[in-house]
Each structure stands twice: as C-alpha cells, then as structure tokens.
Amino acid sequence: MLEIIPIPALTGTYDNYIWILHDGVHAIVVDPGDATPVLAYLQAHRLDLLAILVTHRHGDHINGIPKLREVYNTRVYGPRSEMIPTVTHQIGEGDHIEIDELGLRFDIIHVPGHLPEHIAYIGNGMLFCGDILFGCGCGKMFVGTPAEFHYSLQRLAALPDDTKVYCAHEYTESNIRFALLCEPENIALQQRQRDTRALRRQDLPTLPSTITLEKATNPFMRCAEPEIVAKVMRRLDLAAPPMDEIAVFTALRAWRDDC
C-alpha cells in the first residue's frame, strides 16, 4: 500500500515538508531541500529511491538532490530551467510522468506566480504544489505577475474537490491568522483555525488539505467573496469595488507581505 509521509526539514527557518511516497520497497521524494532527513528515512525503512520530483528552483526545494544522487542513481524530474542543473528529465505543461513500480502517474501543469518555472504534479487524487499554494495561503510573488499567480490558483481550484493538497511548508497557522483578518465571519475558516491549533499542539502536520477546504477558507482562492472585497476596499480606501479579481488578489498579496 502506498504511504505518503511528510519529512520535516529546515525546521525553524523554512519549515519545509519533503514528501516521500513509498510502498515499503520503492520510494519517490518531492522537493528535497535537505538530503539528511531523507537519507535517514530511506535507510531506516530500506527503501530504494526511484525518482525525485522538483517544483521550482529555490534551495529549500533542491539542495538535497546532489547528495541523494551520490547514494541513489535516481532520475530527477523538474522544470525546463537552466537554473536547476540537477534535473535530468525536464518536463512542463501537458507532460506526464509514470512511476510504474508505485503505480503512479502525474500530469504536469505550469503554475507561474511564485517563480516563472514553477510546475505542479497532479495525479492519483493528489496535488504536489510546491510554493504556489499553501494551507490557507499562497507563496510569495518573487518573480511573477498577480494575473498569472491568480490564474495558477484558479486552475488548482478547478481540480476535483477531494484532491489532496500536499504543500511544501507548514505555514497554515499563520496563514489562517491573516485569512481571518480578511474574512472574520467565515465559519469554515474559524473551524479550520480550531482544527489547525489542535494538530499543531500535538506537533502534527496540518497537511494535506483538500481543494474543498482551500476553496472554502483560502482568501487567495476567494477573491470574489463580498466580505473580502469589502475589506480590500476599506484597506485601499476605495469608493467603488476593485475592477476585477486580479486587483483583489494583488491587494491581498501586498497586504499579506505587510503582516
């Protein structure tokens, strides 16, 4: 049976999760920013690493690749970018990959906004979304436009509701605090805060979430909600509602950067 395990990494600085998928024999990992905890897990469970999946070039997602490849002669899937020389198999929008040993198939979509090359892996009811989507939030807009970021999130929002969302960071609790500034009356969001606090008190991950939960609580996926639009109007001192959802997204992203 397939197991999907979050390995905490760079804890206290970036609070990454490196996701390992394995069946007790073979494994793949997503965005290994640090090799040490991954090697420890693989060796403790006597797993053979078949492949590494990469979403984008940030060091906290790729720095573990060289050391892992010293031990395992594994293929590395990742975006078509010269800035990730450790990728052995470049992939992009419309491609798919198959991990036959684990019975997995992922479709690749291009999700710019955080960084231009960012891709996401979708398959088997799972989404590995790197830093484009977080629990109740989204990544920083390092090199991108609000329009493309918003479009990327809209594409993810269109996935089946029960798709499990495997984000790369444990940021849910602070994201919920911001979301409640935007939408204090949202009952699903209030419930999510209670659930999240209970998990974190036990030092448990708040992920994966689901597309349903993100659509119900994540302000960056709710740019048309009247309460959010009203908050943005007040914050920007606007007399009339913003022209479109992208303007709301832009204001939310800037507001989040200030928090």
Among 58, 150, 192, 222, indicate the residue that binds Zn ion (CB under 5 A): 58
Stretch that binds Zn ion, among 35-43, 45-53, 55-63, 78-86 (CB under 5 A): 55-63
Beta carbon nearer to Zn ion, 170 or 183: 170
Name residue 165's beta-bridge partners: 127, 209
Contact status: 31 vs Zn ion (CB under 5 A): no
Beta carbon nearer to Zn ion, 117 or 131: 131
The DSSP secondary structure of 66-86, one letter per residue, reads HHHHHH---EEEEES-TT-TT
Side-chain half-sphere exposure of 129, counting CA atoms within 13 A: 33
Question: What is d(CA 105, CA 28) in angstroms, rounded to the nearest whole number?
Answer: 12
> How many residues bind Zn ion, per CB under 5 A?
2
Q: How far is the CB of 244 from Zn ion (least distance, A)?
A: 27
Across the beta sheet with 126-128, what order do the strands follow? 96-99, 104-110, 119-123, 126-128, 164-166, 209-210
Stretch that binds Zn ion, among 41-49, 83-91, 130-138, 156-164 (CB under 5 A): 130-138
Stretch that binds Zn ion, among 42-50, 52-60, 73-81, 87-95 (CB under 5 A): 52-60
Beta carbon nearer to Zn ion, 131 or 170: 131
Hey, what's the torsion of the CAs at 189, 190, 196, 197, to 10 degrees? 160
Q: Length of the chain, please?
A: 259
Q: How far is the CB of 22 from Zn ion (least distance, A)?
A: 25
Q: How far is the CB of 131 from Zn ion (least distance, A)?
A: 4
Contact status: 117 vs Zn ion (CB under 5 A): no
Among 117, 131, 148, 245, indicate the residue that binds Zn ion (CB under 5 A): 131
Task: Measure Cα distances from 31 to 12, 53, 131, 132 in Å.
Answer: 18, 6, 10, 13
Amino acid residing at 126: M
Q: Name the residues that contact Zn ion, by CB under 5 A.
A: 58, 131
